[in-house]
Amino acid sequence: MKKLLKYLKLISVEPFILDSADGEKILAEAKDLFEYIDSGFRDWGADEKGPATKETPVCVYEMAKDATFSQMFSLLSSDKSKLCLTQAQIIEFVKKYRNWLQADDYATFFLFESNGQFFVADAVACSDGALGVSVSRFKDSHVWSAENRRRLVVPQLAVWYFDALLFVFLFFSKLIPWDSLSSRGFFCMIVMQSENTSRLRLRVKVAKKIKT
């Protein structure tokens, strides 16, 4: 949990909603949106159409410490597939929430899967207003600098579970008092949206018992 705080910072107070999509759109063909598109999408087979998706809430994180893709995404889930968006969803996020891309030529990262491999789309909002997108292999060992606060966009459910565990860690560490009404409300919100609500409800019952 300490690592999560050390490497990543959640900056979206409320989730952003991506509409349902048929998965047909791919980044290699999004010329109406991006002025620059990396040829690597085609060269590396990162151009597979995705499945149809339902309405999906997503969250935005900001880097707080230098990290590789593996380090930053693995902090959120050990199952990479739960952190993936389809390319159609990435395109919609850029269209719908363009102002949430990191500015001044610095990347916002999106994890996706194509032809059995994991890739990261690096969407960039240039200082002249143009948009560009490049692709990197997830296994790339390059260490990305946190100095310019690059961002990550991931599905909300994958994130809330780990934020909930983080809250439990802070609570038992006595860094967040249970008597705080705002903390209690925050915890209840996480419990309702978590992937594993039964385990968290059990944790909160134990927490109450210890405090009384």
Looking at residue 204, what is its pLDDT?
42
Residue 185 CB contacts under 8 Å (≥ 6 apart), including other chains: none
- Does 80 score more than 90 pLDDT? yes
Angstrom distances, CA of residue 168 to CA of 7, 100, 174, 186: 19, 29, 10, 11
| pLDDT (tens digit per residue) in 103-148 | 878 899 999 999 999 999 999 998 888 999 999 999 999 999 998 8
For residues 173 and 176, what is the distance between their CA atoms, to the nearest angstrom?
8
Looking at residue 41, what is its pLDDT?
98
| pLDDT (tens digit per residue) in 145-201 | 998 899 999 998 644 445 555 555 555 555 555 454 444 344 434 433 444 333 344
Task: Say if residues 184 and 178 touch (Cβ distance below 8 Å).
Answer: yes
| pLDDT (tens digit per residue) in 8-35 | 999 998 889 999 999 999 999 999 999 9
